[in-house]
Structure 1
Amino acid sequence: MFGVDALTLLSAGALAFALLTYVMLDGTDLGVGMLMGINRRPEQRQVMLLSILPIWDANETWLVLGGGGLLALFPLAYAILLPALYVPFLLMFIALLVRAVGIEFREHLPRKGMGDALLLGGSLLATLCQGVALGTLLQGVPHKAGQYNGNGWEWLGSFPLLCGLALVAGYLWLGACWLYWRSEGDLHQRSRRQARYLSLLALSLLAAVLICTLGVDQRYWQRLSEPWIAGPSLASVTLLLLGYQVAWRSRWHCLPLLMALGVVAVAFALMLLALFPLIIPPDLSLAQAASSPTSQTFMLVGFAIIAPITLAYNTLGFRVFAGKIRAPDARSE
């Protein structure tokens, strides 16, 4: 297909699966972290933290799998993309560390508000950097003869920054839906209202990103306007949004989150379809960037072992810590 062999397609699929799983799982956690910054009630912030405390670090495993998979499966793409995004990647990793400090050491800080501020700042910066990196990839990374030859500041363009804002809104939306599922009482109702407003903001920014993406490269428009892509995508998003509206009347409080995650999955699929068979625009294809068949086979065997174990661990974590979280007795900040 498009000059890409089955082994390379399987490698690309494994990498895409790891990245999408990270976005859906840790994106929700990052959204909760950002929402903590606009909630002034200590007992509600405690519930918000407890909802992600047992699972946040396991969710980040998928980011490690995605980064390591890119290096091993498509080393040429890694060699071009990394220097182009040194600054956003470095800031993202620092932000994730700051977030970890805010989560794990919140109870030991002199004032819990300090931990909440670290969690807010780390979550916001990490999300912005991820969105900026995605936007930089979509707009194209200058390279020649397998080496990056840009100026290192392409990520500061208007399109990458728009993608960063859209991802912030999307993660906030997921975070509000998560809290609606896991909380009760005032926080439950507050999260419901936030999710309603944030869905409008996230969808508006997502539509803006889609429109701008179509103008970045003519090939994106040609691909996404094909009936076999545009038709099912539009139908899927419509059904998911209808389900999202109906889900608020259901006794299954996880349904709004599932519908929102479905929209994120469709958006992610559209990005991949727009790029295919490229891995780094404007002209580096999957086949050109792929490692040797031996390396791909070795990595895919490892992925086939690690991915189910990680999924099982994630599932066990969600199952063990399932249910509504009740606010503990308020303690002094």
Structure 2
Amino acid sequence: MEWYLPVIWAGLIGTAVAMYVILDGFDLGIGILFPTARNEVQRDQMMRSVAPFWDGNETWLVLGGGGLWVAFPMAYAIIMPALYLPVIVMLLALVFRGVAFEFRLVSHSKVWWNFAFTFGSLIAAFAQGLILGGLIQGIRVENGEFAGGHFDWATPFSVLCGLALVAGYALLGATWLIMKTEGEVADRARGQAKIMLLVVLGFMALVSLYTPYAFERIANRWFSLPNFYYLWPVPLFTALVAFLLWRWIGGSRDSLPFIATIVLFLLGYLGLVISSYPYLVPPSLTVWDTAAAPASQIFMLIGTVFLLPVILGYVIFIYWLFRGKVKEGEAYH
């Protein structure tokens, strides 16, 4: 088997996951922050800031899941039954949230749709954290098949990851509102962003301390020599970005806090990749162990080469077309 094909596909899937977390993360964050709005006018303003983007953002989730199924069928066949419950809860919550988004626009009474939008966003974010925690702590595999229980993912560590992701998405949502709105919504988002930044840093510190303590493979990756010499800039740069983000939240350049939050997420994501690669199903199966036949990977890679620029072009065009701030009292259509 050509060794580079699984690496290419792992990079593509990893990129799709990162794009989803960032792009869908801020509109999930809007839903999490939704109850803090004072009235329907402010909630409309928050909705309007994400209305052109939210459904396209979820394209990356489809690409990531479909890529895993095609390029790494063994990993897909193990991860899905291991994490079936949080995965199905996440998907149902995303559907619930999408329905609430559309029906709130035409409903005379918005109370229940507001609740549905917030509830769907919160549950989807928390379920994604449970999935992340379940993957990090590892999946029991025997003879190439899932050999654990249906609730192996349900641990204090996965709950910690779920809460951390909820806080992270709320930070993304708050910095998005700073960049895309004005008036009281943007002013309140600045205070929320500072609070969420402290919460997120606390969760990052807990996860960073707990994982090397609980999982020997992660401790060896980060603290063995010469790895330590190469990897110490990652937490140092993370602290620098967090410091700059704190300063920029109160500054006049409204796009900088959102950009810094994206960089903070990417650094956290890089830390997870460093901790787990090349294991696609930690702690036993690598990207090469679970890869599909080279012919299948090449066939799908040809299609992806043409499809990916189209998706990226669409994303760039939509974000450019709907650039600028959403004003107070501006309704969405």
- TM-score (normalised: structure 1): 0.95
**Of 138-147 and 320-329, the range deviating more from structure 2:** 320-329
**20, 24, 27: which one aligns with 1:26:** 24
What corresponds to 1:217 in structure 2? 215
User: Partners of 2:251 and 2:302 in 1: how far apart?
Assistant: 41
Q: 1:31 to 1:329 in 2, by over 3 A?
A: closer
What corresponds to 1:254 in structure 2? 255
What corresponds to 1:99 in structure 2? 97
User: Partners of 1:283 and 1:79 in 2: how far apart?
Assistant: 15
Q: How many residues align?
A: 328
Letter paired with 2:326: I
Letter paired with 1:103: F
Q: 1:157 to 1:97 in 2, by over 3 A?
A: same
**162, 177, 180: which one aligns with 1:179:** 177
User: Partners of 1:173 and 1:4 in 2: how far apart?
Assistant: 41
Deviations 1:93-113 (A, max 9, x none): 110011001111102223112
User: Partners of 1:44 and 1:102 in 2: how far apart?
Assistant: 17
What corresponds to 1:63 in structure 2? 61
What corresponds to 1:49 in structure 2? 47
Post-superposition offset of 1:299: 2.1
User: Partners of 1:37 and 1:84 in 2: how far apart?
Assistant: 34
Q: Is the 8 A contact 1:26 1:60 kept in 2?
A: yes
Q: Is the 8 A contact 1:92 1:129 kept in 2?
A: yes
Q: 1:78 to 1:143 in 2, by over 3 A?
A: same
What corresponds to 2:305 in structure 1? 304
User: Partners of 1:283 and 1:4 in 2: how far apart?
Assistant: 20
Q: Is the 8 A contact 1:4 1:277 kept in 2?
A: no
User: Partners of 1:174 and 1:4 in 2: how far apart?
Assistant: 39
User: Partners of 1:39 and 1:229 in 2: how far apart?
Assistant: 45
**Of 279-288 and 219-228, the range deviating more from structure 2:** 219-228
Letter paired with 1:292: A
2:282 corresponds to 1:281 = yes
Post-superposition offset of 1:249: 5.2
Residue 280 of structure 2 aligns to a residue in which SS?
strand
Letter paired with 2:264: V
2:113 corresponds to 1:115 = yes
**Of 33-42 and 192-201, the range deviating more from structure 2:** 33-42
Post-superposition offset of 1:228: 4.4
What corresponds to 2:81 in structure 1? 83
Q: Is the 8 A contact 1:4 1:286 kept in 2?
A: no
What corresponds to 2:12 in structure 1? 14
User: Partners of 1:61 and 1:221 in 2: how far apart?
Assistant: 35
User: Partners of 2:211 and 2:12 in 1: how far apart?
Assistant: 24
Deviations 1:124-172 (A, max 9, x none): 0101110000100010111111111111101211111110000000000
Letter paired with 2:78: I
Letter paired with 2:244: G
Q: CA RMSD in A?
A: 1.6
Question: Unaligned regions of 5+ residues in structure 1, if any?
Answer: none
2:206 corresponds to 1:205 = no
Post-superposition offset of 1:188: 1.1
What corresponds to 1:232 in structure 2? 233
Post-superposition offset of 1:284: 0.8
Post-superposition offset of 1:200: 0.2
Letter paired with 2:254: H
**Of 174-183 and 227-236, the range deviating more from structure 2:** 227-236
**Of 164-173 and 110-119, the range deviating more from structure 2:** 110-119
Q: 1:48 to 1:229 in 2, by over 3 A?
A: farther
User: Partners of 1:245 and 1:39 in 2: how far apart?
Assistant: 23
User: Partners of 1:329 and 1:136 in 2: how far apart?
Assistant: 42
User: Partners of 1:30 and 1:92 in 2: how far apart?
Assistant: 12
